[in-house]
Structure 1
C-alpha cells in the first residue's frame, strides 16, 4: 500500500505535518541571504553567488557552519578533539536519498563484480532497495538482521563475507569507471553495508558503540564501506533540553567519528571505511532537499564531489544550502529543531500509551527514544497483513505493514505480525484515534479466531 493512498488517518507518512514546516524562518533566511546586492563571497570560487553554479564540494562557508553546528552544538566536542568535523571532509548534496545513490555510483562497482555484495540491515528503510538496484546490485543484496535493540547479526554477516571472498575472482578491475585523462583512480570498495544506526527506520533501534566499533573493524578487514544514514540521530527525546533555550540533544558518536577516532594513517585505508549520509530534511524541512556526506579523511568527500554531474553543474543545492547555512548562523534552525523535538516527544508518548491501552496485551512495542518511528509486533497467530487490510477498508486508516521493509531478494517475513507507525505526520488526537481503531480491528480479529487479547 502506498503512503500517499487516500486516507483519513495515515501512520505511513514519514515527514512533518504541514503546521510544523517553518515557513517564516525560511522566508526570513532567504530574504537575509538574497536582499544584499553583493555578498563578500559572491566571486569567491570556493563559495560563489547563491543563485549561480556552486563549487563542486559546496560553499565553504556553509561547510564551515555545518561543522560548527555539529562540533559545538550537537556533539559538543572539545576544541582539540580529533573527532571534530572539518569542511574538507564534507561534500554538500541534495539530501540523503540522492546522497546514497551518489555514494553507490562513485565508490562501488557491482556491474563487473568488483563490488561483490551489498548488505542491508533488516528490517530496512522501504525505499532504499531502489537505490541499490539502480547501482547494479539486483541479485546481490543480503539482509542482515538486527538483534535485540542495539546490535546486528555479525555471525551471518561475517559468514557471507567469507563466502564471497572464497568465490571471488582475482581479475576484477575498476578500469571501466576510471577516466583515462586523469591520473587519479577512484576508490572502489569490495563490499558495502547500509544501516540507519540511530533511531533506525523502521525499528527505532540504536546501535551500541561496541556494535559500531565491531562493524568498523570488520569493514577494514574486508574492504567494506559502511553507509550510515544519520538522519534521525539529533531527534532525541530522552535528554531534557527544556532548561536552556539554546541546548540541543547530544547523539551517540557516529560511525564516521569512531572510524576517525581509531583510524591509523599507516595501517588503514586512506579513504576510511565509513560515510555519514546526513540531511536537513528531518531537522528543518524535507522540501529543501539539502544534505551532506561526511567522510573520515578529505579523500572520499573529494571523490564524491568530483562525480560527472557535480563538476558539470557544481554542488546540486547551492541556494538551499545557503538558506540552511543562514538558519544555522542566525539560530532559527535550533529553534525549529527544538520545537520539532518537543512536538514529536509528546506524540511518541501518546502513541505508546495508546498501544498499551488498546492493542493486544502481548503486543511488543518499545518506548520511542528518538526519530520518527515505532515498530510494533502483534502476538503469535495474529495476521498483521489481514488486520492492515481491514483497518484500511473499514476505517480508512493506513499503516506501514512490515512487508514494506524487506530487503529485495532476501525476505525475512516482517509482514506477518509487524508494522511501522510514524509519529511525524499526525497530531496527537489523530494518533490516539488511529490506535483506537487499530485496537478495535485487532479485537474483532481475536474474537473470530479465539485468540487471547
Structure 2
C-alpha cells in the first residue's frame, strides 16, 4: 500500500462517525418546528437559496465564540457544497474575464494544486499571475506592480455587465476588476500564516483597485501551538477586518469556508461569508442555486445539529491532538534524516508542511526514485505552480501532509526519504 504523503484528507479512523450518527438520528427522528418555514424547510426537501436560516444562525454563534468580535450575522452567510464548489460559485457570480472586464486573477504561489482548473473553467485561462508567498506575508511589491500594469490597459466597457445579469434581475451584480486567491492561515501548501499587517494591506489594495480577495479559510482552527483541550484563539479573517472599515456596499473580501477539515469531507458542507448581506445574497442567486436551492440541504442540517448540540469542539480538538502529535514527529524526522540546511514550514497548524532541500539536490529525481523503488509518495513542488507563471518549485521543494499518515508511517517515510538522498548523493 505504501506511504502516501500526498493525501490531504483525514485518516478514516479519525472521522467522527459516532457524532455524525447521533446528529443524523436527532435531526431526522426528533421533533422539528422548521419544516414548513420557507427559510429552513424539511431536511430532505429542496433548501432555500441561501441555505437554512437556523443552520446559518448556528454558524454565526460559532463565529461569535471563536472569532470574538467578528460581527458575523446569519444574513452574512451563504451555505455551499464545500470550499471547491464555493470558489467556482464565487468566480461565476463576481467576475467577468471573458470580455476583459475582470482584467486578471492573482494566485499566491506556491498554491493549492487543484485551484488552477477552477479559475480556467471560469474563463481565466491566460489571465493568471503568481504572487510569491513569503514568511508570514506575500510579495506586495510584485502585486502592486502587476496591479498597476494591468490597470493601465484598455478600459472596461460597462455594457459588458449586461452579459452576466439575467434580464429580469432586480439588481445588477457587483463584478470586480481583479480577483486574488489566497489561504491566509496555515496555507496549502506553504504552511504560512499571514500577520495582521499583511491582511490589512491586502484589503487596502483591494479597495484601491476594485479587487475581490477570496480567502480559503479552512485550516485556521487547526492550530497546534495552543492548548488542545479548548478551541484556539485565532486571527480575524480578512472578511472580519473588511467589515470593520468597509468603504463600499459589497466589500472586497469573501471568506470561503468548509467543514471538510473540521468534521468530515464527505459531508460536502461549506459556507461563504461577506461583510454584510449584499454579496452573499448575490452568490446564492446563481441559476443553479435558484433552481435546486442550497446544494447541501440535508448535510448542512447535520452540521447545524452538531453545532447546536455542542459536539463541534470535541471533534475539532480530537483532530488537533492527533495532528499536533504527527506534526511534532514530522519535524523531528526531518531534522534527523534530511540534509543539514533543509528548510521546512508548517508545523504550527493545518495539514501541510513545505520542505525545501539545500542547493545541489534535485528533488524531482529523489521523488521519482522514492515512488518507483520504495513506494513512498511525496507531492513534488511542480504540482503547486500557477499555470502560465511558474516558479520551478519542483526543483527542490515538496509538500507533505500530516492528516493521513500515522506517526509510525511518517517516521518510516522520512527515514526512507533520507536514505534515498544518501544513495543519490553519497558525497554530500
After TM superposition, the score normalised by the length of structure 2 is 0.98
Distance 1:31 1:103 in 2: 33
Query: Is 1:111 equivalent to 2:90 in the alignment?
Result: no
Match of 1:229 in 2: 216
Distance 2:373 2:147 in 1: 47
Q: Which of 51, 54, 60 lines up with 1:58 in the alignment?
A: 51
Query: Is 1:46 equivalent to 2:29 in the alignment?
Result: no
Cα deviations across residues 135-172 of structure 1 (Å, max 9, x unaligned)? 0000000000012x211111111111111111122425
Match of 1:248 in 2: 231
Cα deviations across residues 75-119 of structure 1 (Å, max 9, x unaligned)? 2x2xxx4x3210000000000000000000000011111100000
Note the residue ranges of structure 2 that are not aligned, 5 or more in a row.
none
Match of 2:146 in 1: 160
Cα deviations across residues 9-55 of structure 1 (Å, max 9, x unaligned)? 0000000001001111111110000013x510000001000000011
How do 1:156-235 residues align onto structure 2 when only pairs under 5 Å count?
156-172=142-158, 173-235=160-222
Query: Is 1:307 equivalent to 2:286 in the alignment?
Result: yes
Select between 350-359 and 19-28 the one with higher mean Cα deviation. Answer: 19-28
Select between 330-339 and 123-132 the one with higher mean Cα deviation. Answer: 330-339
Q: Quick check: 2:191–2:346 contact (8 Å CA) kept in 1?
A: no
Query: Is 1:323 equivalent to 2:309 in the alignment?
Result: no
Distance 2:156 2:341 in 1: 52
Distance 1:417 1:212 in 2: 29
Q: Which of 119, 129, 137 lines up with 1:151 in the alignment?
A: 137
Query: Is 1:102 equivalent to 2:52 in the alignment?
Result: no
Q: Secondary structure at the match of 1:174?
A: helix
Q: Secondary structure at the match of 1:278?
A: strand
Q: Secondary structure at the match of 2:105?
A: strand
Q: Quick check: 1:284–1:337 contact (8 Å CA) kept in 2?
A: yes
Distance 1:186 1:167 in 2: 23
Q: Secondary structure at the match of 1:135?
A: helix
Distance 1:225 1:125 in 2: 18
Distance 1:96 1:181 in 2: 29
Cα deviations across residues 360-414 of structure 1 (Å, max 9, x unaligned)? 1111113601000000000101010000000011100101000000000000010
Match of 2:19 in 1: 25
Deviation, 1:241, is 3.5
Deviation, 1:183, is 3.2
Match of 1:11 in 2: 5
Q: Quick check: 1:366–1:374 contact (8 Å CA) kept in 2?
A: yes
Deviation, 1:210, is 0.1
Q: Quick check: 2:186–2:346 contact (8 Å CA) kept in 1?
A: no
Cα deviations across residues 174-228 of structure 1 (Å, max 9, x unaligned)? 1111112223100000000000000000010000100010010000000000000
After TM superposition, the score normalised by the length of structure 1 is 0.93
Distance 1:329 1:338 in 2: 17
Q: Secondary structure at the match of 2:126?
A: coil
Give the RMSD, CA atoms, in angstroms.
Answer: 1.0
Q: Quick check: 1:360–1:443 contact (8 Å CA) kept in 2?
A: no
